[in-house]
Amino acid sequence: MLSYQHLYHAGNLADVHKHALLAWVLDYMANKDKPFSYLETHAGRGLYRLDSLEARRTGEAAAGILALERSFAPDHPYIRAIDATRAAHGSQCYPGSPLIAAHLLRMNDRITLAELHPQEHAALIQVMRNRARVEKRDGFALMQALCPPEPRRGVLMIDPSYEVKSDYQTLPKFVSTIHRKWNVGVILLWYPILNAAPHQAMVAQLLKDHPDALVLEARFPPIRDGHRMVGTGLLAINAPWGMAEQGTLVTALMGSDARHSG
Ligand SMILES: C[S@@+](CC[C@H](N)C(=O)[O-])C[C@H]1O[C@@H](n2cnc3c(N)ncnc32)[C@H](O)[C@@H]1O
């Protein structure tokens, strides 16, 4: 049974890096006339309250978006999505990736989301209403069946919690399968950087399979003593032009130690 719940972590430093870059990519795609598809394998609940018991218990947003939001330009697409979320849902609310997409995409762009956890799925349905196709299915199987999507221009976000440790081994094959079926799709894969660095072999395999992939990472101190996460990474295949520079900018705004390659 799945136990990971993103409401304990929403708005933390990893979310700032991932969501700021995702928002930038979606804004880039939406600046061209042609409609596009946004797909997500692990969508979460879409909307988070930063004053919830769960969020206050970890305090991760306080060190993340709440400390950093004024570092971004007010017209950065990430900040625009946060402002729109607060205007629609209240000042303590924070958008997950599906809601960021809903705010930045146009009505003729298509959103398809997978979320397996019954409670998270129910909350996501409420938040997205008729704006997205939302499926309570395994995101890997669903996206493998749906790719290439229609419209063919598009972005796939892969954002597992890595609760299933074999994800590190199986993700390169999944990414290759999607890329073979949908060679024009922008594929974004998030991963945590932990002390023991389990991501390293996975990223090495992905770069071997996709030498042009872009790897954007940011390092930060652990949020509390003994916490294993010391950074965050986003790997992009078919990265839009300018994404490497955006990665450098976002990590600089975070005051982090930026790394990128590709
Ligand atoms: C890291 S959270 C997603 C956060 C979200 N992408 C965001 O940035 O706002 C991962 C989510 O994946 C869900 N999940 C875990 N395994 C899944 C699977 N095989 N298919 C679909 N969803 C899954 C979990 O219930 C959890 O809500």
Residues 170-210 pLDDT 10s: 999 999 999 999 999 999 999 999 999 999 999 999 999 99
In the 8-state DSSP scheme, what is residue 240? P
pLDDT at position 262 is 47
CA 65, CA 223: separation in Å to the nearest integer? 14
Which residues of the chain carry a pLDDT beneath 50? Answer: 262
Domain extent listing, the chain: 6-261
Distances (CA, A) of 66 to 28, 61, 122: 25, 6, 27
pLDDT at 257: 56
Residues flanking ligand 1, CB < 6 Å: 2, 4, 6, 42-44, 96-97, 114-117, 120, 138-140, 159, 161
- Confirm whether 159 is a catalytic residue: yes
DSSP letter assigned to residue 72:
S
Rg (C-alpha) for the chain, rounded Å, is 17
Q: Which of 1, 116, 163, 189 to mutate to test the pocket of ligand 1 (most atoms within 8 A of CB)?
A: 116
Helix axes 77-89, 97-104, angle to 10 degrees: 100
Burial status of residue 34 (CB atoms within 10 A of its CB: 0-12, 13-18, 19 or more): exposed
What pTM does this model have? 0.96
Q: Which of 27, 159, 167, 209 is labelled catalytic?
A: 159
Question: What is the predicted pLDDT for the residue at 1?
Answer: 62
Taken as a whole, the chain contains a residue count of 262
CATH fold for domain 6-261: Rossmann fold (3.40.50)
